[in-house]
């Protein structure tokens, strides 16, 4: 056996042993296990205290897996835009990353709607249809960033995507798209 084949065999056996012993093997965790969807304390919505209005029950729940383990995507309005993630640029300023299509075909981003309460910040992005849609449209993803200023610092409140039904928690990202 050549040294290259021996090295390949050693790497293959090492990876196989790691796979079996790490819990990722055939009896490992389900890809949609509850532990993967748990919010950490820094981004989890906090319960309101005092006179603040409480978010509606189930408003910030993540989609739950079906019996077969698949997760159904939340419903969106025709013009709703999914928020890919956010960057906290200042205590009261968020950069929201989103993906849309070519503006001549899919429209331009409307002014974001921001609703704040003690439990979280719900932001809804939507598009305004083009005045005269293009005759021919290409399907290409356009990654963009829009910035919003909050009335009060984000603190430990969570960020929710208001264009989804049910609303879903938006994950923090390392940097803005643009």
- Write the pLDDT tens digit of every residue in 87-128: 999 999 999 999 999 999 999 999 999 999 999 999 999 999
Long-range contacts of 107-110 (CB under 8 A, 24+ apart): 107/79, 109/81, 109/144, 109/146, 110/79
> Do the beta carbons of residue 45 and residue 158 sit within 8 Å?
yes
pTM value surpassing 0.75: no
- Write the pLDDT tens digit of every residue in 9-62: 887 777 666 666 655 555 544 443 333 333 333 333 333 333 333 333 344 445
């Amino acid at each position: 056996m050549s040294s290259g084949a021996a090295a390949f065999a050693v790497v293959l056996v090492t990876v196989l042993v790691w796979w079996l012993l790490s819990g990722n093997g055939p009896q490992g965790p389900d890809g949609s296990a509850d532990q993967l969807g748990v919010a950490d304390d820094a981004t989890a919505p906090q319960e309101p205290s005092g006179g603040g209005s409480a978010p509606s029950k189930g408003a910030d729940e993540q989609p739950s897996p079906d019996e077969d383990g698949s997760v159904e995507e939340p419903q969106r309005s025709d013009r709703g835009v999914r928020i890919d993630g956010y960057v906290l640029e200042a205590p009261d300023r968020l950069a929201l990353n989103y993906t849309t299509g070519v503006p001549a075909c899919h429209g331009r981003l409307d002014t974001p709607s921001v609703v704040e309460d003690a439990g979280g910040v719900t932001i809804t992005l939507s598009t305004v249809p083009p005045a005269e849609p293009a005759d021919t449209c290409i399907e290409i993803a356009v990654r963009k960033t829009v910035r919003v200023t909050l009335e009060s610092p984000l603190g430990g409140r969570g960020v929710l995507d208001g264009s989804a039904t049910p609303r879903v928690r938006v994950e923090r990202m390392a940097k803005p798209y643009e």
